[in-house]
């Protein structure tokens, strides 16, 4: 076994692999070695596992420690086989690898992160996702498309190792794989920032691998629906974004509407992402640290909420080395009221994905990565967010499907959907053992519990109500919460009933109005929106012809119409124009919505509103979803 | 004493028990031993407590340490009784136990959890309280009635070990005892799910041991009181439940009224449970993870609160493997308003214990494990919750008594109790160095600080005010908070004084009314309840004959009566019936309580209320406790 | 090598160092030894690394374990060199050290904490800052003036080691230096509480070292200003207090006003303290555990806030062994409203430092350690807190200066300062690349974001807005937030404009009033204070002569004056006196402030207020800072 390569012209550093013997060593050549012993009179340097020699203390410029890498020249091969070595300092040299492979020059083999095994010594090439300085080592989170791994480099307690290496850099790391608190970690012996072609190659490899791994599975909707099929390209794009985020270790922040449809949406996606954590990144703690689902009290992404989300995300970036998150808006997020929040996230290059079925504003489109909304593909609100999110969940991780088959029916019931798909969803639920009444009870229980949870995701309680997680409580919990919800509605109706004023309008419709501030219980379930909705439902049953119901408080009102062709967004626009200083804003669907205004102008605003309602034509229209609660 | 069993055919490993002597040893046989000494020339190996010999260093393949298990062959029994040993490696051998039991083969002895010692190899039989999957091993929390211990079983990082073993199963675990972060932990080598008789035996043993250990001590009340004695069987039952919960590692959730009596109640129980954590389960972190005391702002267990408690408990179950908690309601919990919360907990089989002195509703009885309330045994509200809870604390852990002897007096003062026991409690406090004025100041400081703490338990501040924990601040803190409380009352009285309307009623009583919305400072201490109480106290001093004071806000009023025989719960019932849609609810004691109603009906409701008050007879009655604040 | 000292008269214990051989041992003498082997027939005791002998089991009163220290008498030096030893019990003996140092008796050398190196065996003399019992060892935090270190002493899991040693004691610890989670820790082998002179010496050394290390650097203000220079002695005293606190491991709690000036103040100090954590105590986690910066919603230290701060601090003392914190009030804290909070902290000996530019009350002076306020040295509010805090930051840690040079300009802009120093600050900012418009935008963005953050410090977002931390978002974030702020102001002005009432007063001034409850949007940015301010600014431009603007809600009003010589604090005093039961309180600066009152007295209070305004003389005065928002 000898080195058969042509000798390069310049200086050469030889590497001996483990198959080399003393026969492969030549006096005068420079070799890569490492210190394997320190004695008074010098250090022993190994050229491979079996060949070593002495560097005499008189030749050492600075102290060396066991494990240090050192380049040495072989001064003499003594008769007894001992080598006499001196340290050499080399620049601009070629490297030659000597050994079993017959002296061919070769790179050390690269191990994909997804194939790391404990205790292996490996070379990894990857992109740095984030850097975090601990009190001990510096932690680099690395990704190469096959997985992510934390890489620890230590130069001194709390001292930044490899300060030249930063987020986004392509690096080559040589080190050993160890286990830390149940997860693999790479202990770096060497970390080199790659440049030029090498770096590009790493990035291309990562990108290609991610593209491949992040590609959602090819699926058909769980119920036969062209409306769903039309949304599939958009849904696939969202699924791709979430899958890619998880594979690049980015946290996922989910904001959703705090009602049954919104909860169903959020939970479906949560189940899928958790499953992906198991499947794709094998991170057992990710569901606590890399995922955050929060109900929004307002029907849009308030500045206060986005500020909070951003604040926490940046703290995690700094303290825990998390990459910046992606944000997913569910059953919320399609309206112009969301734009300020999206622009705030944009200052941090945090991408936003929206899956919503509320009437979308054009303004949103350029601000988000992808926007899934039935209105954008010829559908309407009856295709609820929960239905869409079950499809999304399957595209994120198809194995979750079996637990979610009854969820679209719950979402639809929650939003009183009259979608053509509804019957198929109910049938699917029945096949899973949930009859329509049971589904309805689940939706009501979710609505009720969402109210009680306020800003908390209520992870397990909600899972138990939705029955998507193994539990023994669903059968008792759902009827109990349903009955609490019904009692609460009963209390509100008792208080409100005598105070609903009815007026017959010239257009033949009936206008019902209720002072919700004075004649309902406040700060309790159901709030003004749901209370007004229930009053309205009763009046619709009482009266032939159209009915419009308005529940008003000091600075807001809730509107619901049936059989009267009002257009609430248009009314808002008109009132804004006609009533300077009344501070009118709000909106919603055509016939379900709410207004806010300045309290001192309530009388004017309501009067103008009633006039516009009186001028609206009677129509024969399906009911729309219950509006949001403005308080 | 010799081994009389038939020799098995294959290789045999002998175990000598502590009753064996040198006579039981035979040359050439293999014995189970352990290293009890390490010297330069070898290791000393014991076969039991009294028999040992030397393995010479030349026979040692690898270094051994004291405590290591080692199988040895007896090469020679020397004349001086010393044994010459060599290590043996054995596979597929029979084991023979030699000793007092005459060599019968027997099961390895079972070690009670309460007797585990670090580094021991043990066999434990126990019930699984909970299972938690970490990123590393699976953790089973085990109980056998003598204690609880975490048992770690590892098959792969984050992989569920022994998936057949689940909460509630009886198991036999063979393993080694180690220390993890200060607590003992059993590292499982084998874990076997027991069935049939074996399982039943473990459960019976656990149950019997728990019954015995959970049995509260035999005590007499700290003051001589038949009324307390009558409540002892119920108090013992609660103490038994709490002791049993702690011994089975179940978290304890305490909800209590946010005033001096409620705080005193909560703290007394907290001190006892913490002491029990030390005594019974030796879990140094339990006071942070297994106990949660929370003041309730409302005078009942709101759905929002129970939802929160349940939500957190379920998250702990999932993430930290905690068993489900038990809930303890103190100075709260006896009224029908609590029933919805209890039914919600029931869906999770979470037991509830109540110690309260508010007028109880029958509806509660079947929903809770035990209900301690003086009214149920012929007593009344004057026996306050804090008095009862000091008894309860002693029954949970008697050693806490010495720190709590002055606490019943504080609780009584806080609720203006005129109980016959009060004098004895004050005398007890005096013996501890707290005179009546000091006790009164503590109660007022507690009331004030409870208001500032909102939803926080304020663990140490409250302990310092109550002086139940070593501190240097009590002497300065209490007078300071007392003076802040008095200043705050002064501010409210200044604002309110000129706006209290007085009317002489036909029955001779005086009706005082105050618009607390318009003529007191809002969102500050003291709130409407305490403010109305203070106004009332002043008016009672001014007027002979009965006085009723009503402080009203937009949708509530607070009522206090003295010398007028009103019955507030009855009034609520009547108003509910007579005033459809007014949304009246509320209650309290006979002559201290509050109403809520729909804001738009305030005038009607107050008018009817005043009429009922005017019709009530004058009586000669003791004052009742200050009512709850409705805001 | 023999012992050449004169033999003392009494009993002597000899210590052999590692250089001694058997020749140094004499029969009959007592030696310090330690157990290095346990066998059946006794224990082997070493006198140094090379000399050992047997204590026969028959001479052992109690069992000994490996590592135990034991004093032994050499009974016999056998021919084979083995020693026969017996344990001795000695009292009142002299100690003689035998070995290379020729037997001179000497104390082991003391290592300063600041010079501890991993793996060293050391003796440390220090004061105990705090004691914390973990589930494992007891942790003593030690300080000797050169640094602080955690010292772990273990006697049993969860058992208190050295119970005689408590906070404040001077101790000598012998132990080994190890690394725990990146920080050095001393593992105690021995811990001795020092008394008398020894203790005093340790304390003196600590105090002297701290005095030296805590001394702030000698600096001149960053802009030439006699007004700043006059405040330097006070600023130095605050810096000294903070530096001393950090060096003694005390947490620092910062409370500041929730506006641009307050945020700038808080951030400047935060950057300096974090830098000090790196420089002085090398504690990488301190910024998460030992520092807490919180915006206060109210313009003073509310009882609710101080209760919360105290509550958390005491929990950290108990659970994490933190010393009690120091409190730093910034852009807040000078008024009598703060006194109650300071007295509460005083019950716990928690010192308070104040840096504020609001008109100070005399009452505060004796309650705080140091009070920096321009009014106390002939200055006024135009020297804003943020300007002062940048000076303070430099005095705490001068290296932060370079990042903060533009911050005083932001603080000044935020408070509309017309200080003579302002131009120099703006020039300084320009030199750093921030022109005046940019500075103004930063101030407005800070104001806006403070509102959205509510009670959160918003650490990184705020740093990015202020541009004091490396980031890529500043350039996009600031104009975005600025535009959101402007839109929000626009919305409020649209609503308010038509409802501002103007009256010409007899003194020639114009009184503008606005019902902010009815004619502005509530619970949104800008609040009533800033909204009233903006209205006022517009009116000042419209009118010659003085303008006073009053924005009133149900129980408060905000006042701003320009060119009218009102004195709001005096007005408050007068109204309090004249209007019994109106509950008037509040204050602020002379011409910028707010009142609160009892809602039912609003009309009276406003009427009296307007009368007083009408009687005020016209003046030619600079504008004062925008007042606080009362809601």
Residue range C18-40: mean pLDDT, rounded: 85
Lowest-pLDDT choice from A264-268, C159-163, C226-230, C455-459 = C159-163
Q: What is the reported pLDDT for C260?
A: 96
Whether B461 and C310 lie within 8 Å, measured CB to CB: yes
Facing C285 at nearest CB: one of A135, A314, A317: A135
C-alpha dihedral (C14, C19, C21, C25), degrees to nearest 10: -10
- With 90 as the cut, is the pLDDT of residue A1 above it? no
Q: How far is B120 from chain A (nearest CA, A)?
A: 25
Q: What is the reported pLDDT for A519?
A: 94
| Average pLDDT in chain C | 90
Q: How far is C258 from chain A (nearest CA, A)?
A: 15
Residue range A557-577: mean pLDDT, rounded: 92
Lowest-pLDDT choice from A185-194, B486-495, C204-213 = C204-213
B582: number of Cβ within 10 Å: 22
Q: What is the reported pLDDT for A103?
A: 44
Kindly report, residue by residue over A282-341, the tens digit of the pLDDT: 777 899 999 999 999 888 999 999 999 999 999 999 888 899 999 999 999 999 899 999
Core vs surface per residue A293-326: b (16+ CB within 10 A) or e: bbbbbbbbbbbbbbbbbbbebbbbbbbebbbbbb
Instruction: List the single best residue of A348, A555, A597 to mutate versus C (max C Cβ within 10 A).
Output: A348
A197 vs A205: CA distance, rounded Å: 12
Kindly report the three-state secondary structure assignment for every residue of B590-617.
CCEEEEECCHHHHHHHHHHHHHHHHHCC
Whether B599 and A498 lie within 8 Å, measured CB to CB: no
Contact C176, C187 (CB under 8 A): yes
Kindly report, residue by residue over B133-165, the tens digit of the pLDDT: 877 789 999 988 888 899 999 887 778 899 999
Contact A499, A519 (CB under 8 A): yes
The model's confidence at residue A3, banded by pLDDT at 50, 70 and 90, is: very low
Whether A518 and B304 lie within 8 Å, measured CB to CB: no
Contact C149, A157 (CB under 8 A): no
pTM of the model: 0.80
Task: Beginning with the edge strand found earlier in the chain, give each strand of the sheet holding A592-596 in spatial order.
Answer: A501-504, A510-515, A547-552, A556-562, A592-596, A585-588
Whether C581 and B461 lie within 8 Å, measured CB to CB: no
**Which candidate, B171, B133, B179, B127, places its Cα nearest to that of B153?**
B133
Q: Residue A457 has what DSSP assignment?
A: -
**Which candidate, A79, A80, A72, A68, places its Cα nearest to that of A54?**
A72
Whether B134 and A284 lie within 8 Å, measured CB to CB: yes
- With 50 as the cut, is the pLDDT of residue C631 above it? no
Contact C335, C381 (CB under 8 A): no
How far is CA B130 from each of CA A468, B138, B193, rounded to the nearest angstrom? 21, 11, 14
Lowest-pLDDT choice from A322-331, A364-373, A577-586, B96-105 = B96-105
Whether A308 and C460 lie within 8 Å, measured CB to CB: no
Core vs surface per residue C162-197: b (16+ CB within 10 A) or e: beebeeebbbbbebebeeeebbbbbbbeebbebeee
C613 vs C32: CA distance, rounded Å: 88
The tokens for B229 are 């004695």
Q: What is the reported pLDDT for A492?
A: 94
Q: How far is A574 from chain C (nearest CA, A)?
A: 16
Task: Write out the residues of chain C at the interface with chain A, using a CB-CB cutoff of 8 A.
Answer: 179, 181-184, 282, 284-285, 288, 449, 452-454, 456, 458-461, 472-473, 476-477, 480-481, 484, 491, 494-499, 515, 517-522, 525
| Average pLDDT in chain B | 90
Residue range A358-385: mean pLDDT, rounded: 94
Contact C274, C399 (CB under 8 A): no
- With 90 as the cut, is the pLDDT of residue A369 above it? yes
Kindly report, residue by residue over A14-23, the tens digit of the pLDDT: 888 878 888 8
A33 CB burial (10 A radius; 0-12, 13-18, 19+): buried
- With 60 as the cut, is the pLDDT of residue C110 above it? yes
Kindly report, residue by residue over B41-58, the tens digit of the pLDDT: 888 898 987 888 889 888
**Domains located in chain C, CATH noted:** 12-98 (2.40.50.140), 113-210 (2.40.50.140), 215-480 (3.90.1640.30), 505-615 (3.10.310.30)
Contacts of A456 (CB under 8 A, 6+ apart): A295, B308, B311
Closest residue in chain C to residue B521, using alpha carbons only: C598
Residue range C557-565: mean pLDDT, rounded: 94
Contacts of C54 (CB under 8 A, 6+ apart): C41, C42, C43, C44, C45, C82, C83, C84, C85
Contact C510, C502 (CB under 8 A): yes
Whether B315 and A460 lie within 8 Å, measured CB to CB: yes
- With 50 as the cut, is the pLDDT of residue A215 above it? yes
Facing A310 at nearest CB: one of C184, C461, C497: C461
Contact C260, C410 (CB under 8 A): yes
Q: What is the reported pLDDT for A206?
A: 87
Helix (H) or strand (E) run with residue A156 in it: none
Core vs surface per residue C400-410: b (16+ CB within 10 A) or e: bbebbbbbbbb
Q: Which residue has the tokens 């019997």?
A: B208
Looking at per-residue pLDDT, the higher value among A92 and A375 belongs to A375
- With 90 as the cut, is the pLDDT of residue B550 above it? yes
A218: number of Cβ within 10 Å: 8
Kindly report, residue by residue over B551-568, the tens digit of the pLDDT: 999 999 999 999 999 999
Lowest-pLDDT choice from A82-86, A104-108, B299-303, C583-587 = A104-108
Q: How far is B582 from chain A (nearest CA, A)?
A: 6
Kindly report, residue by residue over A467-501, the tens digit of the pLDDT: 999 999 999 999 999 999 999 999 999 999 889 99
Strand partners, A528: none
Instruction: List the single best residue of B136, B347, B584 to mutate versus A (max A Cβ within 10 A).
Output: B347
Looking at per-residue pLDDT, the higher value among A70 and A441 belongs to A441
Whether C498 and A581 lie within 8 Å, measured CB to CB: yes
Contact B276, B431 (CB under 8 A): no
Kindly report the three-state secondary structure assignment for every residue of A349-384.
CCCEEEECCCCCCHHHHHHCCEEECHHHHCCCCCCC
Strand partners, C125: C172
Looking at per-residue pLDDT, the higher value among B65 and B247 belongs to B247
**CB contacts, 8 Å: B494 with chain C:** 580-581, 583
- With 80 as the cut, is the pLDDT of residue B67 above it? no
Kindly report, residue by residue over C353-401, the tens digit of the pLDDT: 999 999 899 999 999 999 999 999 999 989 999 999 999 999 999 999 9
Lowest-pLDDT choice from B83-92, B353-362, B516-525, C338-347 = B83-92
How many H-runs (helices) and E-runs (strands) does chain C carry? 17, 23
Contacts of A145 (CB under 8 A, 6+ apart): A205, A206, A207, A208, A209, A210, A212, A213, A247
Facing A518 at nearest CB: one of B310, B314, B600: B600
Residue range B200-207: mean pLDDT, rounded: 88
- With 70 as the cut, is the pLDDT of residue B624 above it? no
Strand partners, B552: B515, B557
Q: What is the reported pLDDT for B167?
A: 87
A618 vs A563: CA distance, rounded Å: 6
Contacts of A122 (CB under 8 A, 6+ apart): A111, A116, A174, A175, A176, A177, A186
Q: How far is A156 from chain C (nearest CA, A)?
A: 9
Facing C520 at nearest CB: one of A580, A596, A598: A598
- ipTM of model: 0.78
Residue range B27-33: mean pLDDT, rounded: 90
How far is CA A225 from each of CA A262, A383, A398, A425, C274, rounded to the nearest angstrom? 21, 10, 19, 11, 59
The model's confidence at residue A108, banded by pLDDT at 50, 70 and 90, is: low
Percent of chain A, pLDDT > 90? 63
The model's confidence at residue A107, banded by pLDDT at 50, 70 and 90, is: low
Contacts B–C by Cβ distance under 8 A = 113
**DSSP track, B499-534:** T-EEEE-TTS-EEEEEEHHHHS-SSSSS-HHHHHHH
How far is CA B74 from each of CA B14, B49, B52, B53, C497, rounded to the nearest angstrom? 11, 17, 10, 9, 105
Looking at per-residue pLDDT, the higher value among A545 and A598 belongs to A598
Helix (H) or strand (E) run with residue C437 in it: helix C436-453
- The upper half-sphere exposure of residue C376, i.e. CA atoms within 13 Å in the direction of its Cβ, equals 22
- With 70 as the cut, is the pLDDT of residue C145 above it? yes
Residue range A194-215: mean pLDDT, rounded: 88
Contact partners of B by the rule of 3+ C-beta pairs under 8 A?
Answer: A, C
| Average pLDDT in chain A | 90
Residue range B241-245: mean pLDDT, rounded: 96
- With 60 as the cut, is the pLDDT of residue C101 above it? no
Residue range C516-524: mean pLDDT, rounded: 94
Task: Write out the residues of chain A at the interface with chain B, using a CB-CB cutoff of 8 A.
Answer: 179, 181-184, 282, 284-285, 288, 449, 452-454, 456, 458-461, 472-473, 476-477, 480-481, 484, 491, 494-499, 515, 517-522
Percent of chain A, pLDDT > 70? 95
Residue range B203-228: mean pLDDT, rounded: 91
B512 vs B561: CA distance, rounded Å: 10
- With 90 as the cut, is the pLDDT of residue C216 above it? yes
Whether C459 and A311 lie within 8 Å, measured CB to CB: yes
Looking at per-residue pLDDT, the higher value among C240 and B629 belongs to C240
Kindly report, residue by residue over A338-362, the tens digit of the pLDDT: 999 999 999 999 999 999 999 899 9
Contact A205, A384 (CB under 8 A): no
Core vs surface per residue C496-530: b (16+ CB within 10 A) or e: beebbeeeebebebbbbbbbbbbbbbbebbbbbbb
Whether B307 and A519 lie within 8 Å, measured CB to CB: no
Q: What is the reported pLDDT for C242?
A: 97
Q: What is the reported pLDDT for C448?
A: 97
The model's confidence at residue B8, banded by pLDDT at 50, 70 and 90, is: low
Q: What is the reported pLDDT for A156?
A: 78
Lowest-pLDDT choice from A303-312, B336-345, C39-48, C392-401 = C39-48
Q: How far is C486 from chain B (nearest CA, A)?
A: 32
Contacts of C368 (CB under 8 A, 6+ apart): C333, C342, C351, C352, C353, C354
Q: What is the reported pLDDT for A349?
A: 96
Q: What is the reported pLDDT for A69?
A: 85
Whether B522 and C599 lie within 8 Å, measured CB to CB: yes
Lowest-pLDDT choice from A205-214, A487-496, B304-313 = A205-214
Q: What is the reported pLDDT for B627?
A: 39
Residue range A434-457: mean pLDDT, rounded: 96
Q: How far is B138 from chain C (nearest CA, A)?
A: 21
Q: What is the reported pLDDT for B544?
A: 82
The tokens for A250 are 């980015």
């Amino acid at each position: 076994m000898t080195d058969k390569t042509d000798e390069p012209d310049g200086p050469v550093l030889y590497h001996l692999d483990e198959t080399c013997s003393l026969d492969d060593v030549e006096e005068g050549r420079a070799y890569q070695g490492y210190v394997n012993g320190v004695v008074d009179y010098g250090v022993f340097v190994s050229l491979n596992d079996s060949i070593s020699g002495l560097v005499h203390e008189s030749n050492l410029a600075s102290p060396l420690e066991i494990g240090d890498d050192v380049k040495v020249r072989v001064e003499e091969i003594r008769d007894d086989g001992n080598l006499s070595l001196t340290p050499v300092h080399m620049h601009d040299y070629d490297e030659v690898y000597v050994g079993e492979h017959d002296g061919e020059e070769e790179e050390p083999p690269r191990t994909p992160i997804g194939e790391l095994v404990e205790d292996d010594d490996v070379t990894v090439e990857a992109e740095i996702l984030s850097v975090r300085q601990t009190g001990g080592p510096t932690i680099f989170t690395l990704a190469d498309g096959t997985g992510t791994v934390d890489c620890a480099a230590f130069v001194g307690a709390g001292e930044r190792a490899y300060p030249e290496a930063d987020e986004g850099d392509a690096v080559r790391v040589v080190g050993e794989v160890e286990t830390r608190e149940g997860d693999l970690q790479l202990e770096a012996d060497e970390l080199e920032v790659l440049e030029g072609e090498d770096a590009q190659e790493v990035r291309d490899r990562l990108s290609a691998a991610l593209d491949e791994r992040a590609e959602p599975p090819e699926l058909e909707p769980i119920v036969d629906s062209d409306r769903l099929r039309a949304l599939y390209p958009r849904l696939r794009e969202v699924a791709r974004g979430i899958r890619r985020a998880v594979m690049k270790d980015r946290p996922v922040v989910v904001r959703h509407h705090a009602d049954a449809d919104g909860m169903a949406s959020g939970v479906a996606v949560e189940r899928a992402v958790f499953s992906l954590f198991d499947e794709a990144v094998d991170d057992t703690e990710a569901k606590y640290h890399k995922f955050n689902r929060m109900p929004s009290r307002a029907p849009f992404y308030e500045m206060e909420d986005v500020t909070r989300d951003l604040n926490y995300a940046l703290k995690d970036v700094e303290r825990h080395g998390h990459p910046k998150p992606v944000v997913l808006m569910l059953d919320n997020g399609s309206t112009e009221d969301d734009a300020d929040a999206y622009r705030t996230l944009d200052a941090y290059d945090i991408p936003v994905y929206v899956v919503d079925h509320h009437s979308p504003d054009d303004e949103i489109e350029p601000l988000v990565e992808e926007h899934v909304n039935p209105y954008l593909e010829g559908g309407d609100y009856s295709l609820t967010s929960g239905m869409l999110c079950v499809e999304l969940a399957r595209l994120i991780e198809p194995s979750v499907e079996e637990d979610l088959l009854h969820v679209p029916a719950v979402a639809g019931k929650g939003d009183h959907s009259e979608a053509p798909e509804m019957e198929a969803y109910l049938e699917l639920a029945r096949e899973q053992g949930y009859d329509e009444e049971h589904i309805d009870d689940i939706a009501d229980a979710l609505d009720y519990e969402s109210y009680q949870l306020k800003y908390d995701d209520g992870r397990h309680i909600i899972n138990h109500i939705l029955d998507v997680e193994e539990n023994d409580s669903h059968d008792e919990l759902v009827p109990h919460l349903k009955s609490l919800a019904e009692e609460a509605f009963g209390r509100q109706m008792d208080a409100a009933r005598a105070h609903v004023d009815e007026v017959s309008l010239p257009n033949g419709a009936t206008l019902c109005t209720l002072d919700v501030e004075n004649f309902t219980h406040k700060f309790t379930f159901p709030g003004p929106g749901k209370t007004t909705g229930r009053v309205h439902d009763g009046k619709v049953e009482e009266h032939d012809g159209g009915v419009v119901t308005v529940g008003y408080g000091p600075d807001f009102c809730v509107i619901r119409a049936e059989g009267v062709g009002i257009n609430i967004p248009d009314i808002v626009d008109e009132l804004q124009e006609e009533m300077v200083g009344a501070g009118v804003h709000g909106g919603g669907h055509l016939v379900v919505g709410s207004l806010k205004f300045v309290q001192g102008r309530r009388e004017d605003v309501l009067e103008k509103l009633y006039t516009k309602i009186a001028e609206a034509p009677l129509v024969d229209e399906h009911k729309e979803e219950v509006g949001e609660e403005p308080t």
